[in-house]
Chains A and B, each alone.
Chain A
């Protein structure tokens, strides 16, 4: 079974600074998908960014980018120019593309990000 590990339960960053959240995963598959979700105090789950394992290029979405290291099974999230609205719980998630698994997601434990003004 796949596992996802987020080793930083809490992180903090100053407004306008850059912060990196770590995520590692364990899988024997060569093709899969990785996601970062954000959960603000409202408890909504919001997709931040996604990465296909077969793509070597790191995904970027505005101020959010990833550092995907396939050999190391590492998928970190970098938030640039941090804003107060970025404060949330961030979850890393893995999805196996096998059809029999029903595109189920495996989540990490989460990292609580605080943004200080």
Chain B
């Protein structure tokens, strides 16, 4: 079955540490996205990529970095510059615009501070 795989499901970060969240898709989608979800809030866009080797900042990119070296993969690094990283992170992919096709989501990674 095609889908999006996020790993790990739970992740803990120590002070001053960078951590990387994995996102892999086998849907052959060109576009991929990272969202952050805080309790009681909707999803906020961190970064997105429409094509390999290209990505753009979303609304809350500070303290995060991404790469898109392969179509299937879009890892997110939470750097030590992100002072409040505790949140639920969702990766998504889609056929790029213009299209009425929805974004497909992974199961998410919950990141906490040790």
Contacts and interface: CB of A to CB of B under 8 A. Distances in A.
B24 to A, nearest CB: 17
A98 B97 contact: yes
13 contacts: A35-B102, A44-B105, A44-B108, A91-B43, A98-B97, A99-B96, A99-B97, A102-B97, A103-B95, A103-B97, A105-B103, A107-B42, A110-B42
Interface of A: 4, 6, 9, 33, 35, 42-45, 47, 50, 52, 91, 95-99, 101-110
B50 A33 contact: no
Contact of B94 (A42, A103, A109): A103
A99 to B, nearest CB: 5
Nearest to B45: A104
A52 B102 CA distance: 12
A47 B102 contact: yes
Nearest to A35: B102
Interface of B: 31, 33, 40-45, 48-50, 56, 58, 88, 90, 92, 94-100, 102-103, 105, 107-108
Contact of A104 (B58, B88, B95, B100): B58
Contacts of B45: 104-106
Contacts of B43: 45, 91, 105, 107
A72 to B, nearest CB: 21
A57 B106 CA distance: 31
A102 B48 contact: yes
Contacts of B49: 102
B107 A102 contact: no
Given A99-B96, A102-B50, A103-B94, A45 B105 contact: yes
A64 to B, nearest CB: 14
Contact of B41 (A50, A98, A104, A109): A109
